[in-house]
Structure 1
Amino acid sequence: MTELFSPELGYPALFFLSFLAATVLPLGSEWLLVAMVAGSYEPASTVLVATAGNTLGACSTYAIGIWGGAYLIKRILRIDENSQKKAERFYSKWGQWSLLFAWLPVVGDPLCLVGGIARVRFSFFLLLVVIGKFFRYALLAWGTLQAV
């Protein structure tokens, strides 16, 4: 599977991995972004591609929250009840603004799900998720450039 996501495959691999990392599979896309930025890929384009893929993945989780049932949540997203409850507590404490943290491991995907279940206005959902995910990838790219 790692051949599918190698830095040599470039932006399509990064987009696809970033999308999957925000949905079904327990994957991380950060390593590929770092490898590409450390290599010959243009940092701004790399950040934008990763942000777009990860955001679209989050949108699919949001859609499952709106239209999906318990089967999709447990079988497709594989979000266990404990993670969902953590996200709901986080969401109830911080409200819609918690979607800025959709990039976090463990609670990020369930936050997007809860955003859909709570019927957060899509334009607001999208704005908060894009901001959070963009800054995460931009910080990773900046740190990579500082290290190389």
Structure 2
Amino acid sequence: MEYLLDSPIQWLLAMLALPKVGLTAIFVVSLISATLLPLGSEPAVFGYVKLAPDMYWLAIGVATLGNTLGGVITYFMGEGAERAYEHWRQKHGHEPGHVSESATLAGGRWHAQISRWSHRLGPSILLFSWLPAVGDPLCAVAGWLRLSFWPCVLYMAVGKFLRYALVTAGLLWFFPPA
């Protein structure tokens, strides 16, 4: 037990050890990995299902729930950032349609293109919220653009569920349980 106090990483790994806490660890890792932090939850889901194959659908459901809630947190982060930006812009007297030269240089063109694409596709764009490096920012953009919340949650959940089900099934096909 003394080694648990050596570093926060060792303590966290011991607390999330799959045989001890299983589904709780999957939920926590899935939730954290759906925020803007770079963490993958698929190894935890696969490891748990490999240890307990009869828990496949429950593990997929728990991972989907955690990852979707993490996406919802990211959605609200995007919405909060947009509100803060609007507040700042009004306080500093910037006109609504005015784009400064620094904003253009800092990605104004990309922002405009992603905004058009997101508005055109609407909440269904969040079917892609499972994609690495793109999915989490998509959730934040949906919040920034204030896309309809409940349809966003539904599309997030469907995309994340399909990802967990297919990736875990594929890994089990390559590495079958003993």
Shorter-normalised TM range? 0.7 to 0.9
Please report the RMSD computed on the Cα atoms of aligned residues, expressed in angstroms. Answer: 2.3
* 2:17 aligned residue: 6
Please say if 1:101 is aligned against 2:163: no
Q: Percent of pairs identical after alignment?
A: 38
Aligned-partner SS, 1:35: helix
1:43-79: per-residue Cα shift (whole Å, max 9, x none)? 0000000000000000001111122346xxxxxxxxx
Say how many residue pairs are matched: 136
Give the match for residue 67 of structure 2.
Answer: 54
> What's the offset of the Cα at 1:146?
1.9
89-98 vs 3-12, greater mean Cα deviation: 89-98
Match of 2:37 in 1: 25
Aligned in 2, Cα 1:6/1:24: closer, same or farther, shift over 3 Å? farther
In structure 2, give the amino acid aligned to 1:88.
I
1:123 correspondence with 2:123: no
1:144 corresponding residue in structure 2: 171
Structure 1 letter corresponding to 2:16: F
Partner Cα distance (2:168, 2:74) in 1:
25
The separation in 1 between residues aligned to 2:120 and 2:150, in whole angstroms, is 21
Distance in structure 2 (CA, Å) of the matches to 1:138 and 1:35: 14
Are the aligned partners of 1:5 and 1:32 in contact in 2 as well (CA < 8 Å)?
A: no
- CA, structure 1 residues 91+3, in 2 after alignment: closer, same or farther (shift >3 Å)? farther
Q: Does residue 110 of structure 2 align to residue 88 of structure 1?
A: no
Q: Which runs of 4+ in 1 moved over 6 A?
A: none
5+ residue gaps, structure 2 = 1-8, 86-105
